[in-house]
Amino acid sequence: MITASFTLAGKHALVTGAGRGLGRGIAEALAAAGARVTVCARSQPELEDAARGIRDGGGLADILVADVTQVARFAEAVNGIDPIDIFVNNAGTNRPKPLSEVTEEDYDAVMGLNLRASLFAAKAVSQRMIKAGRRGSIINMSSQMGHVGARNRTLYCASKWAIEGFTKALAVELANDLIRVNTLCPTFIETPMVRPFLDDDAFKSSVLDKIKLGRIGQVQDIVGAAVFLASDASSLMTGSSLLVDGGWTAE
């Protein structure tokens, strides 16, 4: 009987932006699937709380306090921990506004984290994987907005469309090293970053009009997709995008 293997036993996962929201939920799910997870973010208290939650649930967790925008320091930190099998490149931000109001500082903040830091984080981790001889899985956190456009999202869409192209190119580049690279593309998920926008009834209504399944996403809606991309269940998948968007991009 053919079955899919979703176990991550014996694997080491690194998750950035793991102090809260999607990053923390994904870290917990990877740990539940058997991985030892290193949670990474700038806030040590948030990381300690996340790691404690994983350990209390019977999982294995370490913390790495690091800022992915500090490229050289992050690369040094990656080289200082155990070899990595799974990398969830999750740290990101958004500043929604019309292009007429976008400033250079907005551009630097959004593109600096969503694209520049993500690109160099993937570089550091992939080089660590190659050096250690690991058949790894890199999951770049993208968005449905990496596949469509939307009002007030010119800057965010630019960053996520760039991540989609980067992911495809890196997948080709790392294929001979047996390192897979894919994107995970959620719709609007109720997280601390998104929740303030959803408090606007008009905005929430406009979002629900686009989500064909008729509800705002929850963190638990995304974590199974992350486990799939991290595991051997997706072993023939690279350079692809996994959209978990409630049907937003189907129309």
Residues noted as catalytic = 156, 160
Distance CA 187, CA 185 (A): 7
Distance CA 207, CA 219 (A): 17
Parallel, antiparallel, or unpaired: how do β-strands 86-89 and 241-244 relate?
unpaired
Parallel, antiparallel, or unpaired: how do β-strands 12-16 and 36-41 relate?
parallel
Distance CA 241, CA 161 (A): 11
Tokens representing 71 are: 């490229």
Distance CA 74, CA 64 (A): 10
Does residue 86 contact residue 35 with C-beta atoms inside 8 Å?
yes
From residue 231, alpha-carbon distances to 8, 33, 61, 77 in Å are 6, 9, 18, 25
Q: What angle do CA 189, 193, 199 make, to 5 degrees?
A: 75
Does residue 161 contact residue 204 with C-beta atoms inside 8 Å?
no
